[in-house]
């Protein structure tokens, strides 16, 4: 069965710092990979997705993620975070349904 | 596209009571999913439908839980004889097909007292 592991449960950064959130998945087949974000009090929103092609995927709000097949990883990055990026971030993998990781709570200090 | 709508937004119920939640997906989406999310956890898959057919149920979905999507449009999730451990956010999502990403609703927060 597929699974997703997010290494960082809680990350605190200052504004303008660079961000990288780790995500590893276990699934042997063709994967679809996602990052979702949940801002305080709001519903889950799709940040970006990887289906095939260029392993460097660009999403909304300046986020990007790199699919590295040999490492089973799909890390999320942003070169310079803003206070408004404070949220919970979920990595997810899909075969027939989406399986989510436990999430990383990101807190940006103003 | 009015998004995925879930009702009610909040439900407080006494232990042992039955509750029912409703989800209205995006109209052209034929897949509908139910998830449960507790504090500090990611959404956990419960079940999904393709049109009116329920194609998969998680082991998390005990006999007290039942979901329906009678006409392939809206869906209901019923919990019978609620327990305190059922307290969670229940999320509904829909997608056009299996290869597309999901659109999530705002969820129904259940509190069992």
B28-64 residue pLDDT tens: 899 999 999 998 889 999 999 999 999 999 988 889 9
Nearest to B102 among A42, A98, A103 (CB): A98
Integer Cα distance of A61 and A81 in angstroms: 10
Q: Does B102 touch chain A (CB under 8 A)?
A: yes
Q: What is the pLDDT of residues A22-77, one digit of tens each?
A: 999 987 677 889 999 999 888 889 999 998 899 999 999 999 999 999 999 999 99
Chosen for mutation from A97, A100, A101, A106 (greatest number of chain B CBs closer than 10 Å) is A97
Contact A43 B91 (CB under 8 A): yes
pLDDT at B108 over 60: yes
Cα atoms found within 13 Å of the Cα of residue B89, Cβ hemisphere only? 19
Q: What is the pLDDT of residues B55-102, one digit of tens each?
A: 999 988 889 999 999 988 999 999 999 999 999 999 999 998 777 778
Q: Which residues on B lie below 8 Å from A60 (Cβ)? A: none
pLDDT at B1 over 70: no
Secondary structure (DSSP) of A38-105: E-TTS--EEEEEE-SS-SEEE-GGG-EEEEEGGGTEEEEEESS--GGG-EEEEEEEESSSEEE---EE
Q: Does B25 touch chain A (CB under 8 A)?
A: no
Coil, strand or helix at B85: helix
Contact A101 B42 (CB under 8 A): yes
Closest alpha carbon to A89 in A50, A18, A40: A40
């Amino acid at each position: 069965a597929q699974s997703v592991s997010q290494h960082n449960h809680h990350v605190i950064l200052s504004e303008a710092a660079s961000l990288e959130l780790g995500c590893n998945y276990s699934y042997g087949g063709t994967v679809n990979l996602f990052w979702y974000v949940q801002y305080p009090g709001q519903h889950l929103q799709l940040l970006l997705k990887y289906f095939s092609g260029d392993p460097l995927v660009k999403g909304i709000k300046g986020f990007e993620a790199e699919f590295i097949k040999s490492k089973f990883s799909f890390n999320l990055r942003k070169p310079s975070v803003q206070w408004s990026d404070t949220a919970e971030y979920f990595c997810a993998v899909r075969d027939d349904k989406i399986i989510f990781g436990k999430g990383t709570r990101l807190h940006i200090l103003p | 596209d009015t998004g995925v709508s879930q009702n009610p937004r909040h439900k407080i119920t006494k232990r042992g009571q039955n509750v029912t939640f409703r989800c209205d997906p995006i109209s052209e989406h034929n897949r509908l999913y139910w998830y449960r999310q507790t504090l500090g956890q990611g959404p956990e898959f419960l079940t999904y439908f393709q049109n009116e057919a329920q194609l998969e149920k998680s082991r998390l979905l005990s006999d007290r839980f039942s979901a329906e999507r009678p006409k392939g449009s809206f869906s209901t999730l019923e919990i019978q004889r609620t327990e305190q451990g059922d307290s969670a956010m229940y999320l509904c999502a829909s997608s056009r097909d299996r290869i597309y990403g999901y659109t999530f609703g705002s969820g129904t927060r259940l509190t069992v007292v």
